[in-house]
Structure 1
């Protein structure tokens, strides 16, 4: 903008006027120089009048007029120059004013832009505050509805508790009546139990005495039977050993002084279900196993007590030589 103002200052009316006046002054100055009187040369022959005749005439009046015109011209030029300076200063001032107004406009524009941004920011914050307020209002409404629902539920619970309390009081009264009735029945039942307990104790004492008597008799019979069973076990053990010895094939050169322990399992009729070597000399053990298998069925008592002691029997086979 400044460059355009500087480039076109000569196109302003003031500049044109100053230029026109300056042109007129120059034209007048040149014209006055054209009509300036030239000096006249005079030839004098005598010496006496040489000084008077050769003295130059006084300058004509136009010379003073020319001096006056030059002074006017200079004054006019100074005025024109002053006008030009004033015009230049005025133009510079105008340009400065334009620049100042442009800067002011720029500052105003920046201020307006800042204001618009500030307004936009304030509007955004206001919108956010409005949204937050709406959310808070919605949450408050939801909270109010929740509290109302809770209050309603609490009231319903209070009514239910009141009804339950009344029912509990009625149930307590009924329970108290029932308790009293049960207590009376319990007292009667306790008395009946005590009576029955006395009878039961008396009966138990009689039964105990009878049981002790029976137990003593049974113990006597058991001891007698056990003694008999021991005898039977010994007798049948000897019979089983004899049966094995009868079926044992003996060789004095390999078996003298040697033994073998075998385990034999028997059925209720004496049938051999298994025979296993526990320890001993192999030659005797092999002969003992063959002897048991050869016998097949060994002597067995029909008494269950005796069978229980002989059904899993361990014997020592020791061949005897005469």
Structure 2
């Protein structure tokens, strides 16, 4: 059986060397056929100092490089012999590898049979050892069981003695706990009564304080409301005066006539919109022009006052 890792005969170092020699011989042969000597040029000089070029002499006869055909054939024959020898050597090496592989397979089969025998003998020995250990374990188990019974009896006696002592201690602890609970209950009742009394007093104080704070807040709200009403009235009058200053009046067309307009203002008094609600057109047109001409009307910095003046409706009645 041939191995896949064995190189072919043309891939061996010997075959590569033979191919290199054959290539070298071919190159020498071609270069010898293409060799030609170059002609020589001769220049003659005259007596008067004038020089003329003489025609070149005829080329020498061609000398061909002779190749010994027999020697070349001998070299080729040697190379082929070397290739045949390398191929035969490779085939012999492959046969040797196959023979060794067969020997190794026979040795492996023999070794497997021996290992099976050894494994069977070991299995029997292990079974015998297991049986021996099992018997020893049974005997030890019986001894341990008897010893465990003796320890259990002693432990039960000790446990009963400990339970008796624990019962006595538990009775004493229960009595002490009962007394402590009674004392704690009395203290808790007294503490609860004290806290309830303090809570009632604190609640009464908080109620009185809340009533006082509520009364003070109502007083402040009333004062603030009165002040806001006064401020609204004052700035309403100032807004009306500003519109009246910018109003262009005509007694013949406006006397006795009015116009209601709605004005919306920004926080700084800037007029954002002005709309006519009702009235005489001549007065309404003059009022709208007056508001736009003013551009910014008086406005309080108080937020409460601004909230009442930011969307205001006025009656414009020109006076003469």
| TM-score tier after normalising by the smaller chain length | 0.3 to 0.5
TM-score scaled by structure 1?
A: 0.38
TM-score scaled by structure 2?
A: 0.38
